Amino acid sequence: MNADQAIQECFQALDRVRWRDCKDEGAPDDTFEWYYAENRLYVIRHKRLKTCFFVKAGSPLDAFGKLRARYLG
């Protein structure tokens, strides 16, 4: 499998996981959701845009905090 195929498969798989709302983790609204992919890897996704951020963190609260500090200002 090449990188393009792996990325396509990953994108499709992310639509099948059980997402949780980031509002419970410090988000100001329900725009973002999170998924824990094991080994301290979190995926934070913008619900409408389906944009995904992969974040190494110790908790969903920490992951959203890192995303906010880096990208949301």
CA–CA dist 5, 18 (Å, integer): 23
Residue 72 confidence (pLDDT) above 80: no
Looking at residue 27, its pLDDT comes to 80
Q: What pLDDT is stored for residue 73 in this prediction? A: 67
For the chain, the domains span 3-72
pLDDT reading at 10 higher than 70: yes
- Residue 58: pLDDT band with limits 50, 70, 90: very high
Task: Please report which confidence band the pLDDT of residue 45 belongs to, taking 50, 70 and 90 as the band edges.
Answer: very high
Q: Find the mean pLDDT for residues 56-63.
A: 95
Q: Is the pLDDT of residue 71 over 90?
A: no
